[in-house]
Amino acid sequence: MIALLQRVSRAKVRVGGNCIAAIDHGLLVFVCAEPDDTDALAAKLAAKLLKLRIFSDPGGKMNLSVADVQGGLLIVSQFTLAADVSGGNRPSFMGAAGPELGRLLYERVVATARSLHPNVACGEFGADMQVSLVNDGPVTIPITLRA
């Protein structure tokens, strides 16, 4: 699984002009499933997102997790994280899981996160979404988990 997380002051997702999800202080996480990913790997990613210590403690060090700071988690599907641009100017997305598996694993990440954390919002799988955010730091971290 591939994820790109951003520590944010706020973030929201709009579909068709309507805000469908929003958080204040927390993490915006873009998630992409790959063909060999599993349900267990999706659950592992969700747990890792909640434990990463990337929020500042009172001393200014990155030492607290989103759970520690009671922040929000906004999870958005984004198959383009699997883009391969090595063959020319048009990206190939063959590295992304197909829509059926992609949806299943995305939903597993969201469901696991919701079972572990009280403030989880999500985008709409497969929709044309507009995501806006205020990156805090900025802190942007790519994550790749393999089975």
Selecting among 6, 55, 78, 112, the annotated active-site residue is 78
**Rg value, the chain, Cα:** 15
Question: Is 6 tagged catalytic?
Answer: no
Q: Which of 6, 55, 79, 112 is catalytic?
A: 79
Catalytic status, residue 130: no
Torsion, Cα 47 130 14 18, to 10 degrees, reads -170
Per-residue H/E/C for 94-141: CCCCCHHHHHHHHHHHHHHHHHHCCCEEECCCCCCEEEEEEEEEEEEE
- Asked if 93 is an active-site residue, the reply is no
Contact 97, 35 (CB under 8 A): yes
Considering the candidates 70, 80, 130, 140, report the single residue annotated as catalytic.
Answer: 80
Active site residues: 78-80
